[in-house]
Amino acid sequence: MTDTGLPLFFLYLQDFAGALLMIALSLGALFYARRLTRLEPQCVLWTYLLWLSVALAAFSISRSIGHVLRFILIWSGRQEVWTRLAPFSGGMNSLIFAAAAALTFYYHAMHAIISRVRTDAEALRNANENLLAAHEALHLLNHTLEERVEARSRELLLSEQKFRHLFEGSKDMIFFCDANGRISDINAAGVELLGATDKKEIVGRRLADFFAAPELWQRYCAALSNHGHVKDFEVDIRRADGTIRSIMLTASAILDENGTVQGCEGIGKDLTHFKQVTNQLILSEKMASVGHLAAGVAHEINTPLGIILGYCQLLTEDLADHKEALPILKIMEKQTKSCKRIVADLLKFSRHTAEEHRAPTDVNQCVREVVSIMDHTLEMDNITLSLFLDENLPPVVLDAEKFRQVLVNLITNAQHAINKDGLIAIWSKRRGGDTVEIIVADNGTGIAPEIINKIFDPFFTTKGVGKGTGMGLAVSFGIVKDHGGDLQVYSPPCDPQCREAGMRTAFHILLPAAAPEG
């Protein structure tokens, strides 16, 4: 009890019990901090809490022991001992309390470090998860890579085979050129079209070398450079053997990443046969129209010519002793007969041969008969006529007399083209299964390209005045057409045998073979 009379026992008891409780709680905190540190030794927060718990436990023990020791010494009557120890106990408490307080100042820095570590750990975990996912994908890819490569290789091989089949199997010319216009690759059809026998003869040559007209090459390059492509560009090419072919080019420029032309790739379609057929159709229509017109004109002119000729002959008889009039009448009679001959040719040109005059005929026999008649005339001009006849030809239903007239016209035309010292050759062969072909060729002057489409026109002739009426080929064309055939001309020839023999012009007579009996 104090001097005021108030009891202090309960206050001392509470202070004593509080000191013990503080020791117990601080040791408990130290125990749990120690367990956390053992569970996660690498955790900085648990290490910090452990040291803080150690400081708090030391402070609690120091302070509590001081209080408990003070009570014990006072109760035991040793007040002077406590008086000597009290300064040391207070100093120790202050020192340990300062240490604990100093540790608390590091809490914010420690919290920042922990947050930074947590952020880095989160990033590291995400990176690890991404790495694991990439590893799984790489592992899967590694397992399926061989299969994918094999499948891709099969696709590429199939694509290359398709392209190669299209490239080699196309009947049109497919070619590739470099930036200098030199052919870098070409298919078999292109090699044949350009008149070569091997691709090596074509690869490396400039495409311009095959253009018959240099100005067309300039137009082709300009269109390719300006538009990047060329479509349906018609051009005449000169083959290795000198013959001319008409082709239609469609090409596209090959560009690099800067848009610079590095070459071109294209397709060339042979239009030669198409143009020949078109010209033949145009000529047939023209000849049919001229034939109808000629028939009408011939009938109208024939009557007055007959009257004129009759009167000329009467006057000639009446004025037989008239020396001045008789030469004039002879000239009139001659010119009138010439006119009647021209009219007769017109009638032949337009007349359709009756069926009863036709019969299965051996064309080789007709050729030999005509040659036997004309051979002497040809020898006089030192012209050699050679025959190359196929003896296994089927017969042809035709009017033999008119067919011989066609042969005479063609041989005479060849003789005039040679003039003197030359060669005429006649071939007969079977074309396909149902066509007989007769070729009459010569090594004369040839036919200029600008007039070759006009030679079958009536009255068209390149001979001098008085040397021809221009009706021979027209009449021959009409006779062949009337027999269901065709008459074609090539200069230079397209037949290899004609070219090897040195021929410069060839007429092809195409006639349908007679159907077998039964």
Q: What's the confidence (pLDDT) of residue 456?
A: 76
Residue 267 and residue 173 in contact, taking contact as beta carbons nearer than 8 Å:
yes
Structure token pair of residue 423: 């060669």
Query: CA end-to-end span of the chain, whole Å?
Result: 161
Give the Cα separation of 401 and 358 in Å (integer): 9
Longest Cα separation, the chain:
207
Q: Mean pLDDT score of the chain, rounded to an integer?
A: 78
Residue with tokens 């090596």: 200
Give the Cα separation of 189 and 41 in Å (integer): 84
Give the Cα separation of 389 and 259 in Å (integer): 61
For residue range 426-453, list pLDDT tens digits in order.
999 988 778 899 999 999 888 888 788 7
pTM for this prediction: 0.42
For residue range 208-219, list pLDDT tens digits in order.
888 888 888 888
Give me the mean pLDDT over the 231-246 stretch.
Answer: 84
Q: What's the confidence (pLDDT) of residue 465?
A: 44
Q: What's the confidence (pLDDT) of residue 85?
A: 67
* CA atoms within 13 A of residue 333's CA, in its CB half-sphere: 14
Give me the mean pLDDT over the 12-22 stretch.
Answer: 72
User: Is pLDDT above 70 for 468?
Assistant: no
Structure token pair of residue 455: 């030679």
Q: What's the confidence (pLDDT) of residue 428?
A: 92
Q: What's the confidence (pLDDT) of residue 288?
A: 62
User: Is pLDDT above 50 for 372?
Assistant: yes
Confidence of residue 463 (pLDDT cuts 50, 70, 90): low
Give me the mean pLDDT over the 264-284 stretch.
Answer: 77
Backbone torsion region of residue 204, taken as left when φ is above 0, otherwise alpha when ψ lies between -120 and 50, otherwise beta: left
Q: What's the confidence (pLDDT) of residue 280?
A: 67
Give me the mean pLDDT over the 403-423 stretch.
Answer: 87
Structure token pair of residue 117: 């570590």
Confidence of residue 388 (pLDDT cuts 50, 70, 90): very high
Q: What's the confidence (pLDDT) of residue 65?
A: 66
Give me the mean pLDDT over the 341-365 stretch.
Answer: 68
